[in-house]
Amino acid sequence: MFDTIDKALARLETWLIVVFLWAMVVLTFAQVCLRALYTHARFEWANQWMAYLDWSEILVRLLVLWLAFLGASLLTRENKHIKIDLFAAILPPRWLPLRELLLSSVAAIISGIMLKVCIGYVALERTFGGSLFLGLPGWIGQLIMPLGFAAILFRFSLRAVRQAVELTRGAEK
């Protein structure tokens, strides 16, 4: 069941990354073109259109944050996240599954702590925060932080359980 959830989450994250990246490219390209048309060609209508799209720069910055968390979650799923791993070179190969279990467990605990902190931050932002653009509350844009850490927590927990099962099967042999 957890593998099914993991695969569905990965598909959703992949589609969101594609959509968000395209939105960033289109909005940024439109801003650059309109700015160039107004600055170099002196088209006044380009300046008016830039005023209509003044929210797009904030949205693009927010989408960068969303892309970072979605990408981090996908990389965690594929075990391609950033690692500082001295023990892989020192420990004998038979200890590597135990090391993976320990690292995944610690990473899951840290992700859980970060999830709790981010939930508190979003709650605070919801209570006292302002709006992003177009009347959208600021806390909605910040939802990616607890959602991202929840996905990363899920992935590290899943890896820890898999490693524990593998170690248990290895001990039975």
Confidence of residue 169 (pLDDT cuts 50, 70, 90): confident
- Domain count within the chain: 1
Phi, psi dihedral angles at 98 (to 5 degrees):
-65, -40
**Per-residue pLDDT at 93:** 75
Q: What tokens does 57 get? A: 């720069």
pLDDT(173) > 70 = no
**Per-residue pLDDT at 79:** 84
Beta bridge partners of residue 131, listed in sequence order: 137
Q: What tokens does 16 get? A: 């969101």
- 110: burial class by Cβ within 10 Å (0-12, 13-18, 19+)? middle
Q: What is the mean pLDDT of residues 101-122?
A: 95
Q: What is the mean pLDDT of residues 148-158?
A: 95
Three-class SS state of 137: strand
* Residue 159 structural domain: 2-82+89-172
Residues 6+ positions from 88 with CB-CB distance below 8 Å: 96, 99
Asked if residues 87 and 128 have their Cβ atoms less than 8 Å apart, the reply is: no
Counting runs of H as helices and runs of E as strands, what totals does the chain give? Answer: 7, 0
Quickly tell me which residue has 């799209």 as its tokens: 53
Q: What is the mean pLDDT of residues 35-58?
A: 89
Beta bridge partners of residue 137, listed in sequence order: 131
Share of the chain above pLDDT 90, in %: 59
Confidence of residue 122 (pLDDT cuts 50, 70, 90): very high
Confidence of residue 76 (pLDDT cuts 50, 70, 90): very high
The pTM is what? Answer: 0.84
